[in-house]
Amino acid sequence: MKVFFTLDSLALGGTERSTLDIVSKFSKDTTVKVVYFYPGDDLKMSYQKAGIALHDVQVKGKKNYISAIRSLIKLIKKDKPDIIVSSIARADLISRIAGLITGTPVIGTFVNDTYGSIRIQEQKERKLYLKFLVYWALDKWTALIPKYWISNCKSIAYSNGKALAIRAKKTQVIYRGRDTDQFESWAPSSTAEQFKFVFVGRLMERKGLGELLDVFIVLKKKYPHIHLDIYGAGGFGKQLLEKIEAAGVKESAILHGSVLNGFKKLYQAHCFMFPSWYEGFSGSLVEAMIAGIPIIASNITMNMEAVTDEKTALVFEVKNTQALEAKMERMILEYPQMIEMGARARKEALERFDIKVIANQYEQFLKDVVNKKVNQNHLI
């Protein structure tokens, strides 16, 4: 079986990282080529190191869809893949049209809660709603093209499926996974001089970083030994930096920028923070669970498919700064119990999210589609 995986870019993001993790564990029976269209190649060397064939289309201009479609059609005719798996907005539209024209089966993916209520409200507040509606119309129209869909969690499958009028029996849920062999068991720092909260991910407003920083600034006055380390890059970084400087906490709230293998930073911290407004099924959250570091996460439905409140994480109501403050303070004051909670998360994650299991599920589903053996009764 020959498969094209199409992405917007090879930037350092959750979907790009998960695609790398999954396809690098496919069997020798499956030949993979990852096709990407736009600038951003932070993960290029990692893909190459894993022996994954790449094709950079090098489209000029963010929305030059016609050129991208033509290039992909040309590549499809040359390589003749059995199936295309597309992820992320622009790559989705490009791949669907190219697949339709060439008669190549396309598998769509749901990797984010694109049409959830918080996302829609965000677009309205940023005065981008008309643009959002145009994309939604294009997405819904072209959503008729994929034969099946793969969603990284159930809640997103239902939310996006409803928004795009996709029947449940066309969607297979396969959670994100990680190579658990890369994760040592996390252990708390032996020093009590600092208590470090850590965030790893893209710097976007919807990640809840504004609320996180506001709460940290308040708690810093009560607990001078706490620190906040933020790893990642993104457009919201400027606002965060301005807030840090205005509050006079630049020595304890630090933006470190983007790093490869960000999960390794978990081992230098005491608690992983994940306050997102909406997400896909987060690879960062899965990584924190596998490591075993104590976690505080928002109660969005995607997170709740990974963690259980009070058992494997402390959970707070999304966007509720008072609730977030209470959870962070409890993390500080009841830390021995929090360490036990992290250990429970690790035990559960090792069973649920090992990449070898996830990759096998993914590859087998693609084979079933190619061989027309999909049992729709087993889909959601």
Please check the confidence at residue 13 and state whether its pLDDT lies above 80.
yes
pLDDT higher than threshold 70 for residue 182: yes
Q: What is the pTM of this model?
A: 0.86
pLDDT of residue 376: 81
- Give residue-wise pLDDT tens across range 203-248: 999 999 999 999 999 999 999 999 999 999 999 999 999 999 999 9
Domains and CATH numbers, the chain: 2-177+354-378 (3.40.50.2000), 180-352 (3.40.50.2000)
Q: What integer pLDDT is reported at residue 181 of this predicted model? A: 92
Output 209 or 122, whichever has higher pLDDT: 209
Q: Which of 316, 239, 241, 240 is nearest to 271 (CA)?
A: 316
Tell me the average pLDDT of the chain.
Answer: 94
* Structure confidence at residue 190 (pLDDT): 63
pLDDT at residue 191 greater than cutoff 70: no
- 55 pLDDT band, cuts 50/70/90, is very high
Average pLDDT over residues 179-193: 84
Amino acid code (one letter) for 20 = L
Q: How far apart are CA 152 and CA 302, in angstroms?
A: 9
pLDDT at 189: 73
pLDDT digits (tens, 9 = 90+) for 56-87: 999 887 778 999 999 999 999 999 999 999 99
Q: What's the CA gap between 68 and 70, in Å, rounded?
A: 5
- Those residues with Cβ within 8 angstroms of residue 104's Cβ, 6 or more apart along the chain or in another chain: 76, 81, 82, 83, 84, 98
Per-residue pLDDT of 237-265, as tens digits, reads 999 999 999 999 999 999 999 888 899 99
